């Protein structure tokens, strides 16, 4: 019986459209306006993924390609809860406190911003990803890399928005939306994690497609359409990342405004945690994919002329620190030096000579557990690197020199604790 009821509800959601989608601006304009209002919070949340995805560049490009001059009067004024005709007619505004009104506005912003987001997603899907002329310029792999599961993201957003709107229709004084967020978190995780994880490849694909003249010509024509409001495709592709981080901020605001021991507060706290877990999972996956990409790139540049080669790519391997030190050879009548490049991973230390063409000729390697850094007197800029078991199973010692005390201490610390990135 319950399953039949749920099926009827889903069918009802599919058979109607959002009440607010056509009244809201594109999400890029909403994002730009809010970036000025709570810039610190947005940048703090975005930094979780920016550093690994190079999404900072994407966010910047979408913002720089949008300016306040592009916002029409309609787009500049966001509908507020107190302006809804049903709210005015109900007389509820005279019976609630200023803080209660602010709380209602905070919950209503989740609805209007989701409508704005869905409007932009609809442009991204219908105008770009379904454009036959654009698709004809791409291979199936390029299409998948560029648009990923964007359609599924849009569908998840639409279901979420319609249920939020239903809650508002039931009663103008909304008592909770955290439960709706929690209900949709499983669907969010299913679509957002793979989409955000793919964005590293998406950005790379966009750069590659610059050389595809047919693609760039069709894209230029699509971006010139008035429905895009002079927003580039890049700004549409970054939307899911922007939304999932923004949603967490909106829920945190609701949590702050709600009564500490109320059911709304408890629900909002759970919703903040659940969305935060999705953001963290995105971050974890992005870092993992970037680590693998870095290993693939490095492996192509490694040469093993005098040592046994070893596979570099591993799901559990990441780079802790790399850089160049001086290897010092003490011999009569004096000492000579040559450059030695170190790649320190969590489970491997690679020693190599960097060549002019950018490749690395590996001279030795060892497990970090078999490596030890032995310092001399306090102000010395040299230390002994001891491999108790190198790639041949032998003991090897070498004297390495740094340019300054900070660099030396960084390397000594990193070698001693390979799972930690040191700071000076």
pLDDT of 311 above 50: yes
pLDDT of residue 56: 34
Q: Which DSSP symbol is given to 125?
A: I
User: Which of residues 74 and 378 earns the better pLDDT score?
Assistant: 378
Topology (CATH) of 11-43+55-63+76-297: Dbl Homology Domain; Chain A (1.20.900)
User: Which of residues 8 and 381 earns the better pLDDT score?
Assistant: 381
In this structure, which long-range contacts are made by residues 413-421, counting pairs with CB atoms below 8 Å and at least 24 apart in sequence? 414/320, 414/321, 414/344, 415/344, 415/349, 415/368, 415/371, 415/372, 415/373, 415/385, 416/373, 418/320, 418/344, 418/345, 418/346, 418/347, 418/349, 418/368, 419/320, 419/346, 420/320, 421/320, 421/321
- pLDDT band at residue 67 under the 50/70/90 scheme: very low
Per-residue pLDDT of 212-249, as tens digits, reads 999 999 999 999 999 999 999 999 999 999 999 999 99
Q: Where are the domains of the chain?
A: 11-43+55-63+76-297, 305-416
- pLDDT band at residue 59 under the 50/70/90 scheme: very low
Does this chain's domain 11-43+55-63+76-297 share its CATH topology with 305-416? no
The residue-averaged pLDDT of 158-173 equals 96
pTM recorded for the entire structure? 0.76
pLDDT of residue 388: 95
Topology (CATH) of 305-416: PH-domain like (2.30.29)
pLDDT of 308 above 70: yes
pLDDT of 77 above 80: no
Per-residue pLDDT of 344-365, as tens digits, reads 999 999 999 999 889 999 999 9
The residue-averaged pLDDT of 272-278 equals 97
Per-residue pLDDT of 122-159, as tens digits, reads 999 999 999 999 999 999 999 999 999 999 999 999 99
pLDDT of residue 189: 97
Per-residue pLDDT of 388-401, as tens digits, reads 999 999 999 999 99
């Amino acid at each position: 019986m319950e399953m039949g009821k749920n099926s009827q509800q889903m069918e009802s959601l599919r058979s109607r459209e959002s009440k607010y989608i056509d009244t809201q601006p594109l999400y890029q304009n909403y994002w730009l306006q809010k970036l000025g209002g709570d810039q610190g919070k947005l940048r703090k949340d975005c930094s979780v993924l920016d550093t690994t995805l190079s999404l900072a560049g994407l966010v910047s490009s979408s913002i720089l390609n949008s300016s306040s001059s592009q916002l029409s009067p309609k787009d500049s004024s966001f509908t507020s809860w107190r302006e809804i005709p049903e709210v005015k007619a109900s007389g509820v505004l005279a019976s609630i406190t200023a803080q209660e009104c602010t709380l209602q506005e905070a919950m209503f912003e989740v609805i209007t911003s989701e409508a704005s987001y869905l409007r932009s997603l609809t442009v991204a899907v219908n105008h770009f990803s379904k454009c036959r002329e654009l698709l004809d310029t791409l291979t199936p792999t390029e299409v998948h890399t560029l648009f990923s599961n964007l359609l599924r993201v849009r569908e998840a957003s639409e279901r979420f928005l319609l249920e939020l709107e239903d809650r508002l229709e039931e009663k103008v004084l909304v008592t909770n939306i955290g439960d709706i967020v929690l209900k949709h978190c499983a669907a969010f995780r299913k679509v957002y994690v793979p989409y955000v994880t793919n964005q590293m490849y998406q950005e790379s694909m966009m750069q590659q497609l610059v050389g595809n003249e047919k693609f760039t010509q069709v894209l230029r024509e699509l971006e010139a359409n008035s429905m895009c409001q002079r927003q580039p495709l890049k700004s549409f592709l970054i939307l899911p990342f922007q939304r999932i981080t923004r949603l967490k901020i909106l829920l945190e605001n609701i949590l702050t405004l709600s009564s500490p021991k109320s059911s709304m507060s408890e629900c909002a706290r759970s919703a903040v945690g659940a969305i935060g877990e999705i953001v963290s999972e995105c971050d974890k996956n992005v870092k993992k994919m970037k680590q693998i990409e870095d290993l693939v790139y490095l492996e192509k540049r490694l040469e093993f002329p005098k040592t046994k080669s070893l596979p570099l790519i591993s799901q559990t391997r990441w780079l802790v620190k790399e850089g160049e030190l001086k290897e010092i050879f003490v011999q009569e009548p004096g000492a000579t030096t040559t450059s030695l490049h170190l790649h320190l991973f969590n489970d491997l230390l690679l020693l190599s000579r960097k060549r002019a063409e950018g490749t690395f000729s590996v001279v030795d390697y060892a497990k970090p557990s078999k490596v030890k850094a032995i310092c001399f007197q306090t102000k010395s800029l040299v230390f002994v690197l001891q491999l108790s078991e190198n790639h041949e199973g032998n003991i090897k010692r070498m004297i390495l020199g740094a340019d300054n005390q900070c660099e030396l201490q960084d390397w000594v610390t990193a070698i001693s604790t390979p799972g930690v990135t040191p700071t000076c």
